[in-house]
Chain A
Amino acid sequence: MRKVFIALILLISCIGVVSANDYMDLFKGDNRITEKELANIITDYMLGNSTLSLNEIRDASYVYIHWNGEPKSIVDSANRTITIYKPIKRIVALHSDAVEALVIVGAEDKVVGVSKYTKESKRQFPELSKLPSIGSCFDPDIEAIVSLNPDVVISYVRWPDPSKLEEKFKLLGLNITVIRFDFYKGSTMKEEIKKLGYLLDKEENASRYIKWFEKYENLVKSRIPEKKVKVYTCSKPLRAFGEGSGLYDLSVAAGGDNVLKGRKGYFDVDPEQVIVWAPDVILRWSYAGGYETDDISGMKTDYEEIVNQPGFENVPAVKNGRVYVISADLATAPSFPVALVTVAKWLYPEVYSDINPKEVFQEYIDNFLHINYNVSKHGSFVYPKW
């Protein structure tokens, strides 16, 4: 009996040596799929003694032909090396900015799950908002993600905590790759889109977007005047958005001289201090607008709160009617360049008389989001209205 058992073990281990019995074995040693390896697994399959599925053989052929047999590697924005060995077919996008990026690179057909926020964005993502929800991007439902059987999950760099995402997949013994990309910061946007395009074999679309991005980025850079206007950035009249906040960075990139320079983060300020700073322009962040609502009243209320703030009547920005409200939906998303020219034009209207930010936005929507959406008629993104 024991002899039979040992013989059986020997036999099984011999089979293992003969040919790759696991997809990942193909990459063993040389880290690439060679012509010989591919030929072997195909003939094995035809002979009916392959342990690889037809899908895996298809993937191997794809990698051999399109990727030169090599895996693809990138460093994500959480600074981790991400290597993929198979073409990505199923993606769960934990946040709407990632959904927008996936639409831009033309990979919307690969998305299989979205967050509850994307589900509410029926106008911006008419098709993808119908996909199953995985809950909130800050505390996603792991079971819901797993039941969608994704290859890749894209999440914010900072949230959710790894103990609620990567470590859970590890506990479940699942080979789901988590890629952390923000897609809401102007500073890392181009790099992230480029890497996403590379991973999904959509380099062309990605570079088309990056070219468009750079066009406006360079335009604004080249037009920053010698004499800058003073800007104050806030969410409520006295709630300042300092260095490191999206709005602060936007105001500086657009060529403003922000009065909050040297002060980090979000904080309350003394109204008298704002009067002393005497900003020429006040920019306010608003969560009221966006693609989904045509109602501008929320942003109007935000605007009026600043204009009517006691004491602000002496601030040049209020005196000269240069208070502006911008929607977070526009500025913290891949539509960042639109926000950039919008703010630049608010700061220096005479310098940008040839540019119409609304047209730039329409250009973005038509060329990259591919939706039937007219910004002259729909949405509320800025106040006063453009």
Chain B
Amino acid sequence: MMDPALLQVKEEYEKYIGRKILFIIFTSVLIVIIAGISATLGSYPISVSEVYSIILKCLVSHPENTKEAIVWNLRMPRILLAIIAGAGLASSGAMTQGILRNPLATPYTLGISSAAGLGAAIAIILSKGIFAGKYVVIGNAFLFSLIPTFVILALARVRGATPETMILAGIAMMYIFSAVTTILMYFAEAEAVKSAYFWMVGDLGKASWEINPPVLASFLICFILLMWKTWDVNVMMTAGDEVAKSLGVNPERERIFVMLVSAFLTASIISFTGTIGFICLVAPHICRMIIGGDYRYLLPASALFGGALLLTCDTIARTILAPVILPVGVITNCLGGPMFLYLLIKRKKEYW
């Protein structure tokens, strides 16, 4: 026979966990529903029932006519990329906030986006003609976006990997890379500058069955690695470095590991899409307000919510003023911002 007090604690804990699991299930269902709606929206006239029968058919065979190709080769890859990119950016945002113990931290705070922007700008400006440089731009953006991470890594070896050092170094790097990009733009021809600007705004228009698999693979691997570290991040978040050490967690090592994985994940997404902001900041916060700061649940919840949010925003971006396609970043800011503020006002207790 169990002690009734203990039984009550157990019950409360189960309730506490139940809510988190419920949220995760809810967001998963939400993604499926939004994806289902998104697939039916577009300028090419295809009826809702046709869309679903095409999707079912194309799961086993190749698209045979224009309608089928539009659904399967145009809409589906874009929907999937929106989910993967949203999930990836939100997960790396959540983890970066955790290891740096800073609610404002994102992978972009570590200089990743401005470095990627510089890499893309260099490739766009130096490549001869727009047909030569497709993979050069992606590759260069990816390589450059890893530079800040390695600089922070080197700095951490000398000065120790404290959150303050990492954030300040990241911000310094962000300014340096933006400055170099600006200087570079002065020497480039006007048309290349415009193309580089378009790259930096970021969108999901490049999605295809060809580029989705590498992004998905990178997301899955990084996500599993991040999941593996959620216990340690929990300890570091709540107990601080000193106590974490006494509990057998090496905060500096964990911090560097998580940073490397998050940076790699972010880099592999934005080198295909360009910089899509705000998701990595706002999705984890919204989830934290709803289900609390336990990373074992917060990480998957952020990923799912980030995917749902980016998919919603992209669907709105490409349909609200159709055939004019808005940059998805505009919609993420317009939608995510007020949602964030609302939750900030409504929250009952300190959530961070």
Contacts and interface: CB of A to CB of B under 8 A. Distances in A.
B330 to A, nearest CB: 12
Interface stretch (B10-18, B129-137, B295-303, B344-352): B129-137
Interface in A275-332: none
Contacts of B134: 162-163
Contact of A134 (B129, B191, B192, B323): B323
Interface string B180-221: 000001111111111100100001011010000000000000
A171 interface: yes
Given A142-B74, A172-B73, A78 B325 contact: no
B205 A172 contact: no
Given A140-B323, A159-B195, A173-B69, 13 more contacts: A135-B325, A139-B205, A140-B325, A143-B43, A143-B44, A143-B70, A146-B44, A147-B45, A158-B130, A161-B195, A161-B198, A172-B70, A266-B186
A163 B205 contact: yes
Interface residues of B, number: 35
24 contacts: A116-B323, A133-B324, A135-B323, A139-B198, A139-B203, A139-B205, A144-B44, A147-B44, A158-B191, A159-B195, A163-B206, A164-B205, A168-B74, A171-B74, A172-B69, A172-B70, A172-B74, A174-B66, A244-B190, A265-B187, A265-B188, A265-B190, A266-B186, A267-B186
Contacts of B323: 116, 133-135, 140-141, 143-144
Interface string A134-161: 1110111111101100000000011101
A126 B170 CA distance: 54
B103 interface: no
Contacts of A146: 44, 66, 70
Interface residues of A, number: 36
A139 B325 contact: yes
A158 B44 contact: no
Nearest to B272: A163
A140 B192 CA distance: 19
B325 A159 contact: no
A223 interface: no
A162 B42 contact: no
A141 B66 contact: no
A245 interface: yes
B25 interface: no
Contacts of B191: 157-158
Contacts of B187: 264-265
A143 B45 CA distance: 9
Contact of B324 (A116, A163, A167, A244): A116
A79 interface: yes
The 4 closest A-B pairs by CB, nearest first: A141-B323, A135-B323, A143-B44, A144-B323
Contacts of A138: 198
Interface string A75-96: 0001110000000000000000
B205 A162 contact: no
B318 interface: yes
Contacts of A267: 186
B322 interface: yes
A161 B130 contact: yes
Contact of B43 (A139, A147, A266): A147
A146 B323 CA distance: 12
A146 B74 CA distance: 11
A106 to B, nearest CB: 27
Nearest to A158: B191
A60 B325 CA distance: 38
Given A138-B198, A139-B203, A172-B69, A78 B189 contact: no
Interface in A183-219: none
B74 A144 contact: no
Contact of A141 (B45, B188, B203, B324): B324
A266 B182 CA distance: 11
Nearest to A141: B323
A115 to B, nearest CB: 9
Contacts of B44: 143-144, 146-147
B197 to A, nearest CB: 10
Given A139-B325, A159-B194, A78 B208 contact: no
A265 B125 CA distance: 12
Contacts of A171: 69, 73-74, 208
Interface centre among B43, B63, B193, B205 (most CB of A within 10 A): B43
Nearest to B186: A267
A197 to B, nearest CB: 25
A79 B73 contact: no
A166 to B, nearest CB: 8
A142 B71 CA distance: 12
Contacts of B193: 265-266
A146 B198 CA distance: 23
Nearest to B65: A173
Contacts of A136: 324-325
A179 B190 CA distance: 21
Contacts of A244: 189-190
Interface in B201-257: 203, 205-206, 208
A78 B129 CA distance: 7
A274 B202 CA distance: 37
A135 B322 contact: yes
A144 B42 CA distance: 8
A141 B322 contact: yes
A265 B192 CA distance: 10
Contacts of A266: 186, 190, 193
